A and B are shown apart, each in its own frame.
Chain A
Amino acid sequence: MKSAVPRSIQVTVSVSFTVVALICMLAMGIALYERFSVRSEKMLTDGTEQTLDQTVLTLEDYLRSMRRMSDAIYYNVIKDQDISKEKPIEQMNLLYEAHKDYLISLALYTEEGELVCASPVGVEKADVDVKVQSWFKTALNKPENLHFSLPHVQNIFVDDPTFRYYWVISLSRAVELGGRGVPEQGVLLVDMNYAVIEQMMEGVNDNPSQQYVYLCDSSGDIIYHPMLMQIAAGLYKENNVMAASYDDGSHKEMFMGDGRIVTVKTMSYTGWKLISVIPTSNTYLGMKDTRYFVIMIVSITLLAMLILNRLVARRVTMPIIRLNDSIREIETGKVNPSVYIGGPLEIEHLGRTLRSSYDQIEQLMKEMVESQEEKRKSELDALQSQINPHFLYNTLDSIVWMIEGGKYEEAVFMITQLASLFRVSLSSGKTIISIEDEIRHASNYMNIQNVRFKDAFTTEFDIDDKIKNCCTVKLIVQPILENAVYYGVKDMEDGEISVKGIMGDDGDIYITVSDNGFGMSSDQLELLLTDDTRVRKKGSGVGLINVQRRIQLRFGEEYGLKIESEPDEGCRVTIHLPAIEYTEENRKMLESGKEPGDEK
């Protein structure tokens, strides 16, 4: 579909640049975002895996030292000692003292749950039966292994004065107790201080992000979790059972509607799993700062793009716009418009071509005007030249008759008048003459006709002096007089012809030729100024239509002749002319086809 409003080249260029830049930006942005997200995810998981590795090492060190201590008590003390004679209390105390920062207590039980010895020395709770406690049962069920329990509150010894209860992880193992004759099984309990593991894990979790690390056993039972209390209170949920089934490494999962990256690291011997959880919203673009930063960058880029595109589009399209302005100047018809030639090679070439085309058109126009003027002038000259042969033939014919009849004086008068008439007729080739000369010409003509027609009619000239020095096309009164003579008063005994020239109220000139001849009908009147095909039987042969055309050719359509007549009431022809002072300058201008004041 075409756009309703045509776009300028600048908008098109600007929009094209913007669209291309936006597409490039978008493509680059997506590519960078993908790259960035993959990289940041990898960095994050790598970092997490490193943290987990270090934490696992620390935890394993701790657990290994606890196992070694258990081994030391068992292999170096219990196994070699006859506990029926001597209890290994001193050695246990020594080991306890050496590790008391990490330990709550050491205790040795017989298979029946009877306390052999413990360090530090404590009083057993009255009603406590260790045989039902899980650490004891596990140790005897699998005597070949050392067993780490889940964290629990120690429920063995009385500590009334301080009302203290300790969270411990019990490391228990089955041991052989010697010295009672037959080998007997027992259980060695090392109650590790849970606070140590908690401190280690709190150190790992001490960061402001939403990332956290928790510890669970191989079946997913939580050993440590930074939100353990919230979980116990039902305020938080953890996907621990599922996570415990994951292999070591990073995994993506959805839990409670949130995406998370879960990294798992399994510890040796215990099978405990250290699990790091990174909510996806925490990883990269979810961060508030990053969002603001991206908005800032996008705004800057768009702003820069908008301004640069505008500048570039302006720079690229400016020569075209200036060339377009030049064409507009030509369209509005400004004289000598300045055609822009400049800018890139192509635009410069277009400018030069336009300039050259304009010059050519201008030249052609001038030639055409000149040719039209020439044609008009030729036509005018042809019209004027129609007068001469008829009139000259008739007059010379009359002079011949006069000379043949011996009327020499009259012949001399005739020739004098004819000479004057021709002087005005020629007027050195001028087509515009003064009214005074025109009236003189008419007067010469009427004098000749009066002689020819033996004063059969009278002629009266009444010309206002104000109009005598005004311009007129030459030989316009004479044809009218000729018509008045031949069609009006020629055959009358008291024929009268009157020529009157005045300056009208409207400032134009009105020259009236009236006669008291036979007049004519309205049909004839109409044909006088419209039909130039009629063959004149009388007169010089120059019709009123000829006069009308000449006046209008020079002065315009609003001027010309007005004929009024009724049968038997004579005829009245009014010549309407503009009042233009007869000066050399005005004359030349009118002759060249222009009206005075055109040049302004």
Chain B
Amino acid sequence: MKSNRNVFILFMSALLVIILMASTSALIMSGMSDDPVMISVIVDDSSSGRWASFQAGLEQAAKDRGVKLSIVPTSRNLTVNQQYLITNDCIADGADGIILQFAGSRGTENMISSISSKAVLVLADTSADMDVDIEGKSACIEADNIEIGRALANEVRLALGKELSSSTIGIVAGNQKQNSIRQRLEGFSENLEGSGAEIVWTESSIINVSDKIEKRQEGRWADVIVALENAGLEAACEYALNLESAPLLFGEGTSIKNVSYLDDGLIKSMIVPNEYYMGYQSVTAITRRLDNRITPMENETIGFRVVNRENLFDEANQRMLFPVVE
């Protein structure tokens, strides 16, 4: 009996001492700030105004979640291999998560496999060859690009009405190595099929696009130019600025430059993906994964808005189009 009592008291004392030590160390440890999660962002032409909304989303999420965010300064038209090297450098510098906009989607299996084994990977803006990742160590956050293509075609249809059947269309197709752009082209072409409109040229270059458009127009005039991505739309606007009778411009864009062209009436209608949401959710997905490595990551689709001159300053569009207060 007595021995049992002593064992019980000793057990209780030992238990209390352990709890005391654990809570004391937890109290001391909580005073020390843990190393924050580091996330590196690698996108094409990082200083472009096209990323303003995206970066605002990234920064807000980083602030909300105590993440150290590093947007890697990049120039235009990086190759996939260059991006891979930069990514590895970032991981070597201690990045826990990578947000990457691949310059080309194809042939990226090994890179995705390699990066996702070392850090949490989120592909932004465009998907890539992610079939290799069956464990859900990476995810893609992008708009429904086929729907964007279809929405652009709808805008063209609405603007031209009956004249569409006799119209010629030029497409600034942008970087066709990216799945997102290819899907936009696919959605656009599919929706425009049977309308009678003739696609007279498709320009897929990403360098000196404005000049290339001019040459294309000199070769065969397009009444409507549709740009499938922001840079292409800016280039089309730059081309159209100097014309007395400019073609109708449609496209996908997010930069303030394109918004301004839309405000000026140069662009007839523009598709604006919710890139603030894309940025915010990219960081959130990485921190969530770092907090819980068991749950596989899932792809996410962001929304988009169709903006024209009439609704440009609508309350609902203002925050998306003008994320930065000046």
B208–chain A nearest beta-carbon distance, Å: 21
Tell whether A194 pairs with B276 under 8 Å between CB atoms, given A11-B5, A289-B27, A295-B23: no
Complex Cα distance, B315 from A152, in Å, reads 8
B260 contacts A160, C-beta separation under 8 Å: yes
Interface 0/1 of B74-104, CB less than 8 Å to A: 0000000000000000000000000000000
A229 contacts B325, C-beta separation under 8 Å: no
A7–chain B nearest beta-carbon distance, Å: 9
A153 contacts B12, C-beta separation under 8 Å: no
Q: Within 8 Å CB of A125, what residues of B?
A: 263
User: Is B34 interfacial (CB 8 A cutoff)?
Assistant: no
B7–chain A nearest beta-carbon distance, Å: 13
Complex Cα distance, B276 from A288, in Å, reads 32
Q: Within 8 Å CB of A284, what residues of B?
A: none
Contact of B27 among A229, A235, A292 (CB under 8 A): A292
A177–chain B nearest beta-carbon distance, Å: 27
Q: Within 8 Å CB of A302, what residues of B?
A: 16
Complex Cα distance, B2 from A8, in Å, reads 9
A229 contacts B313, C-beta separation under 8 Å: no
Contact of B259 among A165, A230, A292, A293 (CB under 8 A): A165
Contact of A233 among B276, B309, B326 (CB under 8 A): B276
B260 contacts A195, C-beta separation under 8 Å: no
Bin chain B's interface residue count. 35 or more
Contact of A229 among B1, B26, B281, B319 (CB under 8 A): B319
| A7 (CB) vs chain B CBs: closest residue | B1
Q: Within 8 Å CB of A167, what residues of B?
A: 322, 325-326
B63–chain A nearest beta-carbon distance, Å: 9
Tell whether A299 pairs with B23 under 8 Å between CB atoms, given A229-B319, A230-B60: yes
Q: Within 8 Å CB of B30, what residues of A?
A: 288-289, 292
User: Is B301 interfacial (CB 8 A cutoff)?
Assistant: no
User: Is A127 interfacial (CB 8 A cutoff)?
Assistant: yes
User: Is B73 interfacial (CB 8 A cutoff)?
Assistant: no
User: Is A307 interfacial (CB 8 A cutoff)?
Assistant: yes
* B19-33 CB contacts (< 8 Å) to partner A: 19-20, 23-24, 26-27, 30-31
Tell whether A127 pairs with B260 under 8 Å between CB atoms, given A232-B319, A296-B24: no
Contact of A165 among B24, B315, B326 (CB under 8 A): B326
Q: Within 8 Å CB of A31, what residues of B?
A: none
User: Is B13 interfacial (CB 8 A cutoff)?
Assistant: yes
Contact of B318 among A152, A163, A288 (CB under 8 A): A152
A306 contacts B313, C-beta separation under 8 Å: no
| B18 (CB) vs chain A CBs: closest residue | A299
* A279-320 CB contacts (< 8 Å) to partner B: 288-289, 292-293, 295-296, 299-300, 302-303, 306-307, 310
User: Is A586 interfacial (CB 8 A cutoff)?
Assistant: no
Contact of B16 among A153, A234, A299 (CB under 8 A): A299
Tell whether A230 pairs with B280 under 8 Å between CB atoms, given A165-B322, A296-B20: yes
B20 contacts A300, C-beta separation under 8 Å: yes
Q: Within 8 Å CB of A293, what residues of B?
A: 23, 27
Q: Within 8 Å CB of B16, what residues of A?
A: 299, 302-303, 306
Complex Cα distance, B318 from A150, in Å, reads 12
B313 contacts A228, C-beta separation under 8 Å: no
Q: Within 8 Å CB of A559, what residues of B?
A: none
User: Is A166 interfacial (CB 8 A cutoff)?
Assistant: yes
A118–chain B nearest beta-carbon distance, Å: 18
User: Is A537 interfacial (CB 8 A cutoff)?
Assistant: no
Q: Within 8 Å CB of B325, what residues of A?
A: 167, 194-195, 198
| A228 (CB) vs chain B CBs: closest residue | B319
- 7 A-B residue pairs with CB within 8 Å: A152-B315, A153-B321, A194-B325, A195-B325, A233-B319, A299-B16, A303-B13
Residues of chain B touching chain A, judged by Cβ–Cβ distance below 8 Å, are: 1-2, 5, 9, 12-13, 16-17, 19-20, 23-24, 26-27, 30-31, 49, 56-57, 60, 64, 256-257, 259-260, 263-265, 274, 276-277, 280-281, 309, 313, 315, 318-323, 325-326
**6 further A-B pairs in the complex, CB-CB below 8 A; given A164-B326, A228-B319, A295-B23:** A153-B322, A160-B260, A165-B256, A293-B23, A303-B13, A303-B16
